[in-house]
Each structure stands twice: as C-alpha cells, then as structure tokens.
Structure 1
C-alpha cells in the first residue's frame, strides 16, 4: 500500500512514506522547529518516494498521548492532507506502537512504554508479550516517583521503553536496569499498523479523528 505516516508526539518529529516497494523516512533534528518544518519534511519524503497525495491509499498519524502542542501540529498536518485528498486517516495509539516496535528488538515478558507528561509525570502502558502478540494490562499516568511501584506488580523480565532514557534514569535511578531507549520508534513504525487498518477497512476519517491528550490543557497563568 501507498501510505504517508507522521509521528511527532515527543522526542523528535518524523515523516515516512511507502510507495509499496520502498520506504523513505526523514527526521527533524530540531524539536523546537516542528511547526514550521513538518510540512516541508512531509513534502520531502513524498517527493523522494515518488508519490503525490492523490496516489496515497491513506495517511497514518501517531495519535498520542504525548506533547499537547506536538500532537496538535502532527494531527493538523495529517488531517489537512487526508481531507484535501479525500483519504482515510489512521490514528495509531503511540504507546501501543512503541511497544510493538520494541517487541522486534527484545525478547522479554513485559514491555512498558513511557512518554513524558507534565513535569515529573509520565504516561505509561503495561503490555504482556506472548508469541509475538501484545496484550495491554494497564494504561495510566503517574508521578515518576510512582513508576517503580507500578511495575513491581509485573513478575518476570521486562523492559521500560522511553525516548530518551537519560532523563528518566536521572529522575528514577532504580529504573535504570529496565530502560530501553526507543530511538527506533518513528513514523516508519506506524506503517504496518496503518496497512493493517486500511486492509481491514478500520481506518477513520479526517473529521472524526481526535488526538489522545489524556489530560486537560491548562494555559500558563500570567503573573502580576
């Protein structure tokens, strides 16, 4: 299938395009420039893959949770392309996609992807991995100090997938033995999920797809 994928929930933004025979992916080096750089990045991968929007079978986007601003940027670009070319839009849950990507790099009983939330907090999901299939045990948000207690209920080998791992290791040193850097997680990771959803007719629409914020946006209060 011919699919465009966009991922910019946290860490770095990326775009990938598959023309059915080969895949092209590019990443943004500067996170702060996502708003002005994402569209040119998408255009670049589309051009390198030899695709136009009209030729796509669908658009995939990492739907969150993640950075409030980054989710809005990524979904806005994905929706604009999908709506403009009348294409199905596939929202891919970010924590699930991270766990699925990690499963290809490690043999462990449990995979726990984590994503920064508010200061000192993380979104997380716990997945059991058996015979290559993932089953979700729990998904929530908690203080970083609570993460060791949350994963203590898992009996057996586990990895905690984060991007990057340095900050989490600094905040909770006891987690260091479990940390697995998710630098492999990017827009390309979403392509297999999107292909499956499109084949099954389970894709959504540009107007009906919403970001998975998992928290209310609270604007900063001005002092004075």
Structure 2
C-alpha cells in the first residue's frame, strides 16, 4: 500500500521530524532541549522539500504523544494539530516509549526492550515492550510513572535479555541496576520521529487514526505541571 506520513516529536530533549513516502524515509533530528519551537517547523519544511511534496499530498500526520516533558509534549501535539487542521489530515499518536523500543529494533534487530525516560522528581516513565511478528509491540509492563527503586523492587526474574533505552537508566543507574531481569545497553536515549513514522504506518493500515481535534497527549503525570501554576494546590 502506498502511504505518505509525516511524523514529528518534541516530547524529550530530542527534536525530530520524519517523512515516510512508501518505503523511503526523509529524516531530521537534533538534540536541542530548549529550541523545539524554533527547529521543528524548519525541519518539516526541509523534509517536504527534499521529497518534493506539500502537506496536502500526505495521507496522515503522526506525533509523539508522550510521555515526556510536559512542555515538550504540548509543543509537539500543538504544532502537529495546526499542520493537520490546515491540510485536513487525520492524525496518529504514537507512544514515545514504544518509539524508543522501535529505535532499538532498528539499530540492533532485537525484540525485547525496557524503556525508562527520566521524569524528574525522582521518577521514571517506564515501560517494557516485546515486538510481535506483525511489527507491533506488546507491553510486557504497562506504561507508568514511578520511582526507579519501585521499578526494581517490583521487577521479576525471567530468562529474556532486555535491551535498555532512555535517559532514565543513566539518571538512576544505582536503583535500576537492581532490576531482576537481564539487561543490555543500547545507545538509544530518546524517541525519534524516524521510528514514530514506522509505527504510525502500521496504525494507518489498520485505520487507527483520529481527527485533529481528537488528538490527545499522554502525560502519565498530567497533574504535576498544573499544580505548580501560581494559585494552584
């Protein structure tokens, strides 16, 4: 099936854009923690120009739905919605944790990934994923936010080797070193639109899209930033 999907992600320190045109992918990616708003739209323009396309030529627009930085997730979904509204495109939200698992698979061809993003406040965004034959990922541990020591305490022994992805492994290395399953390092620290777009392609083929006004983020800890606003408790 011929498909053209644009994906973007600003949920973590990494800012990335990817354009999938059939089997070819045009990518831009840069670790730029404070410059997402400046960089993401120029990246979109660059990949579209490289492919010789416009937004109206696309079939769908995908985005990293979180978890991640509260501000970063909001930036990503806001920009994605604006583009989708303007071009009347359906949207596909993809888990940033699952995207990191896909990134490890792309680099190492392995099917079991344990993801941990540093969530600050002595917590991690956590999830473990196993890749299926159809290219989808099944959650071995449901996505959640929790203290890394609790991750270790609640882990169970198994015979599977789990590849590590995300900033949480380094940020809380002492606590997460106590997990009871076998682990192997990978160089994947952040989600990337290059992997989001591949997962979005699978969802698009299944008809799993939403209208732009229905696109929603996944914060996992969505009350924290709200409570920090002046006058809130």
TM-score scaled by length of structure 1:
0.85
Specify which of 209, 215, 229 is matched with residue 209 of structure 1.
215
Structure-1 residue corresponding to 2:120:
118
Q: Structure 2 vs 1, CA of residues 58 and 168 (structure 1 numbering), >3 Å: closer, same or farther?
A: same
Give 1:17 deviation, angstroms. 1.3
Structure-1 residue corresponding to 2:76:
74
Q: Which secondary structure state, in structure 1, belongs to the residue aligned with residue 228 of structure 2?
A: coil
In structure 2, distance between residues paired with 1:72 and 1:57:
23
Structure-1 residue corresponding to 2:86:
84
> What whole-Å deviation, never above 9, does each CA across 1:97-143 have from its counterpart, x for those lacking one?
22233234446674211112232100111224565763212222211
- Please give the residue correspondences for 1:76-155 in structure 2 after superposition, counting only pairs within 5 Å: 76-106=78-108, 110-129=112-131, 134-139=137-142, 140-155=144-159
Equivalent residues, number = 222
In structure 1, distance between residues paired with 2:91 and 2:18:
15
> What whole-Å deviation, never above 9, does each CA across 1:69-109 have from its counterpart, x for those lacking one?
00000111111111110001011122222223323444667
Q: Structure 2 vs 1, CA of residues 31 and 170 (structure 1 numbering), >3 Å: closer, same or farther?
A: farther
RMSD: 2.7
Q: Which runs of 5+ in 2 are unaligned?
A: none
Q: Which runs of 5+ in 1 are unaligned?
A: none
Worse overlay, 12-21 or 177-186: 177-186
Structure-1 residue corresponding to 2:161:
157
TM-score scaled by length of structure 2:
0.82
Asked if the contact 2:115/2:127 (under 8 Å) is kept, the reply is yes
Structure-2 residue corresponding to 1:31:
33
